[in-house]
């Protein structure tokens, strides 16, 4: 199966430990009864024709699906119709790219006390677990159905990632989830593996740039871009000019860059016009040992010689800005660009 679909979470009172079947009138009712870890192995009978489905975890794409006798549905019961073939390439600016997958494990995160300052910028206070349950529930739900993605494979761990070409540059269309970094630290949001599967990992700067010169508080002069950092071979950490191009390309407005799902519903809706599908992956603040702003903000590393530098996507303000900051250590997401 070539589709990257989804992973659901949460329990449902319609199931008991003795139940095996769920009777539904139509596939639309799967939206209220998604396939997830609580339903894995359970059966569902749909409609007068008694179409039969089984809730299954698909190891290839690391997602839950409803597997039927004649069709396969997403965790929420949608028909799987995504175009993900790497045999057809569209070289226009808003199209697809190369060939890749994902990591699900959480590496150990060392506790670092760098500065005593607490998180206080534009982001919210610590993200409440209940608040983030309603964001991106299923891996793959962030992608635009109108974009033709290609995929790339990270040969280090076999994970595949969607890619998309925007304004002549091929970006990963999802956050890096590589856990084999030898320098620095990476972690999953809330130290929970499922958030790595949904949002990718959060990396310290030295982990992202793959250099001890880039530890927090140090200068980070690695020479001229491009810098591969933790990216797979043939990819690199975005430079400030590459990130600036994306900001300029959208006139600093966030909506065209936002995934449709994965952001707080109180903010302006994302249109994901270019297929970059940026999710609100939040961040980790080392000084206060806290995870922040999932659903509200997203930080993506870019390379500069000195300060901690991010592409900062702010849901509340609906803008995309370049952000240089050294007040305290932040672990951020990584999006790689094709060399």
CA distance 199 to 315: 16
Instruction: Provide the 8-state DSSP code for 284.
Output: E
Q: Reduced to 3 states, what is the DSSP secondary structure of residue 242? A: helix
Longest distance between any two alpha carbons in the chain, whole Å: 67
pLDDT value for 15: 28
Q: How far is CA 60 from CA 4, 136, 163, in A?
A: 9, 20, 18
**290 C-beta neighbours (distance < 10 Å), count:** 15
CA distance 151 to 9: 26
Q: Reduced to 3 states, what is the DSSP secondary structure of residue 203? A: strand
pLDDT value for 122: 37
Lookup: tokens for 198: 């949904």
pLDDT value for 153: 95
Q: Sorting pLDDT into bands at 50, 70 and 90, what band is 80?
A: low
Tens of pLDDT, residues 289-310: 999 999 999 999 999 988 899 9
Percent of the chain with pLDDT over 90: 51
Alpha helices (H) along 17-90? none
Tens of pLDDT, residues 24-71: 888 888 888 888 777 888 888 898 888 889 888 765 555 678 888 778
Instruction: Provide the 8-state DSSP code for 228.
Output: -
Q: What is the mean pLDDT of the chain?
A: 79
Lookup: tokens for 294: 């999932």
CA distance 302 to 334: 8
What global pTM score does this model have? 0.66
């Amino acid at each position: 199966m070539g589709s990257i679909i989804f992973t659901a979470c949460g329990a449902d009172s319609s199931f008991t430990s003795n139940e095996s079947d769920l009777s539904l009138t139509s596939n639309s009712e799967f939206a209220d009864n998604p396939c997830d870890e609580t339903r894995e192995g359970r059966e569902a009978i749909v409609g007068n024709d008694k179409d039969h489905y089984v809730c299954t975890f698909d190891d290839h794409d690391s997602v839950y699906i409803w597997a039927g006798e004649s069709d396969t549905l997403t965790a929420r019961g949608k028909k799987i119709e995504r175009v993900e073939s790497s045999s057809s390439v569209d070289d226009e600016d808003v199209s697809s790219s190369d060939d890749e997958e994902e990591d699900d494990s959480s590496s150990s995160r060392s506790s670092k006390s760098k500065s005593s300052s607490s998180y206080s910028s534009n982001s919210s206070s610590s993200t409440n677990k209940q608040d983030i349950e309603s964001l991106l529930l299923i891996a793959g739900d962030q992608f635009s159905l109108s974009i033709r993605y290609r995929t790339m494979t990270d040969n280090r761990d076999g994970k595949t990632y969607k890619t998309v070409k925007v304004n002549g540059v091929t970006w990963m269309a999802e956050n890096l989830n590589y856990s084999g970094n030898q320098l620095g630290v990476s972690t999953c949001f809330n130290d929970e593996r499922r958030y790595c599967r949904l949002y990718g990992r959060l990396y310290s700067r030295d982990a992202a740039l793959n250099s001890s010169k880039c530890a927090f508080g140090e200068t980070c002069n690695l020479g001229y871009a491009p810098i591969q950092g933790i990216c797979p071979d043939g990819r690199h950490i975005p430079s400030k000019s590459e990130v600036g191009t994306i900001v300029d390309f959208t006139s600093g407005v966030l909506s065209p860059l936002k995934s449709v799902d994965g952001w707080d519903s109180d903010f302006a809706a994302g249109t994901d016009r270019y297929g970059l599908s940026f999710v609100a992956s939040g961040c980790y603040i080392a000084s206060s040992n806290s995870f922040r702003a999932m659903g509200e903000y997203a930080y993506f590393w870019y390379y500069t010689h000195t300060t901690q530098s991010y592409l900062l996507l702010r849901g509340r303000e609906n803008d995309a800005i370049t952000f240089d900051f050294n007040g305290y250590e932040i672990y951020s997401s990584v999006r790689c660009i094709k060399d």
